A and B are shown apart, each in its own frame.
Chain A
């Protein structure tokens, strides 16, 4: 199809401006992470006076970054894994069976998306403290408490998406497995899950990113030993002077795992959204 000249001009100008808007912070992040401290204490400069990787070395000593990093990895991976597993079970039930309370379940799960986090932050904190007092099993301040919290954050979206995804998988495949003598669980693992791989991957990325970026609950539910990156990174600016070059270097380091994962798997994410949400 022919495109008019004015359309092409609008496209070039518009997309260029959007690209600059999108990339400016990334440029600042990368360039400032390569600057010596004196460069970030004065007026901003577009290029470093000399390039140094020292900030990338220093970030690990200024604050216990490695510990926060480990915490974030453990919490996010576990939350994502459990969330995906639980969502697979729940979505399989919703997609393949008719049962009483199905609609109630779906409405409840979806409406939890609407709750302001602040409404259940304090009660959840108190409940975790009480469970700890009653059973001696400390949920508050522990990584397990955080994992439980985060896995439910991504659950509504994951279930919603996987149900629509499972619905697109022909029932004929289930029937064929049944004829071959496979029970419902066997059918789930050997037929439905392999066929829904893009959707499951997309849900996994989403869950991981949700946990990796969460700040509000982490600010209240963690202590020094379980602190995640979201809270830990703030410590660079509570120092006497702000080591902006280190802050930028650290931001880059904590972004790399999610951005690389996201970009490698974005094909699945778009596929998953197309099959799932867009129905």
Chain B
């Protein structure tokens, strides 16, 4: 996000520079034009994001269940009791939420880490041209282009115990007996990590490839003349030059993965295994299946606060480090 801020600042500077001698009449005429141009974006953002979010915060203080849904403004005030239920780790609701939170953290770290490593590996391997490079690049991007539900539903079939390709392959290679349950029990966690990585790593690749295209090639040539090997070039040249992109990329991967709903929803349908009880689906079920909307909203607000704090700390930490360097 600091990259954007920089871009914004640069843009502003450029704008000022070119309009040093503004014609007064034109400026006065155009004073309202930018607001007019922004109006549609502002209206839709307000309608779909800002107002519902504020409403959601309001609902988290209500005792809102299915009986009040049609006249939700008349739902009784609940004070902080929804929050109390959510964070009380001795109660069943709080305990389940904490478990789901821990699972989600583990899931996020693994998926973001693996996706970034695979994306970076492939981007470096594809940095120089060789036969078949364009074809490989196209193939690698396909999982990202597929609609989430279509890609994930294939994995659901592949991971099914009796008809699936994964068990068949593992038995053919004599790794297992071919009767493993992949979508229930503890294995479900490994399954969802693999599926999420399969779907996410192409985005890391796409972003890193775009970033590497803008790197100057002469620096690499100079380094090679000085006798720097591939690994040294990667560590001393590629990584530092990609710092800005990595900062934004990892943040985006983190937010997407942490909030992911599509993958668990499609992979497990209604019966979410405890080992893969990701937070967004946990909150969804508390709201829409147990019809406790006040509690669901309170959980969502806590989630938002957590994401705000993590994002803030992340940006603070990474920006300070890059300034020192």
Contacts and interface: CB of A to CB of B under 8 A. Distances in A.
A75 interface: no
Contacts of B220: 1
Contact of A90 (B38, B72, B141): B38
A110 B5 CA distance: 11
B101 interface: no
Nearest to B249: A277
Interface stretch (B10-18, B92-100, B180-188): B10-18
A167 B5 CA distance: 13
A44 B214 CA distance: 46
Contacts of B10: 167, 279
A263 B145 contact: yes
A7 B234 CA distance: 13
A125 to B, nearest CB: 9
A29 interface: yes
B219 interface: no
A278 B214 contact: yes
A28 B151 CA distance: 11
Interface stretch (B79-87, B105-113, B118-126, B317-325): B118-126
Interface in B238-264: 245, 248, 252, 255, 259, 261-262
B313 interface: no
Given A105-B42, A127-B52, A213-B262, A229 B125 contact: no
A23 interface: yes
B40 A29 contact: no
Contact of B158 (A25, A155, A252, A258): A25
B67 interface: no
B165 A116 contact: no
A269 B145 CA distance: 12
A13 to B, nearest CB: 10
Contacts of B224: 1
A124 to B, nearest CB: 4
B49 A152 contact: yes
- Of the four ranges (under 10, 10 to 19, 20 to 34, 35 or more), the interface on chain B belongs to 35 or more
- Of the four ranges (under 10, 10 to 19, 20 to 34, 35 or more), the interface on chain A belongs to 35 or more
A41 B163 contact: yes
Interface string B5-27: 01110111011101100000000
A138 interface: no
A216 interface: yes
B41 A262 contact: no
A229 B151 CA distance: 13
A208 B268 CA distance: 26
Given A175-B18, A259-B142, A25 B155 contact: yes
B38 A213 contact: no
B55 A127 contact: yes
Nearest to B178: A43
5 contacts: A1-B128, A44-B168, A112-B45, A171-B15, A273-B206
Interface of A: 1, 3-4, 7, 10-11, 14-15, 18-19, 21-26, 28-29, 32, 40-45, 85-87, 89-90, 92-99, 102-103, 105-106, 108-110, 112-124, 126-127, 129, 148-149, 151-152, 155, 159-160, 163-164, 167, 171-172, 174-175, 184, 209, 212-216, 219-220, 229-230, 233-234, 237, 244, 247-248, 251-252, 254-255, 258-259, 262-263, 266, 269-270, 273-274, 277-279
Given A93-B38, A119-B53, A122-B297, 20 more contacts: A14-B122, A18-B122, A43-B162, A44-B165, A113-B255, A115-B49, A120-B56, A122-B296, A124-B48, A129-B70, A152-B49, A155-B41, A164-B11, A213-B147, A213-B148, A237-B269, A251-B154, A255-B146, A266-B138, A277-B245
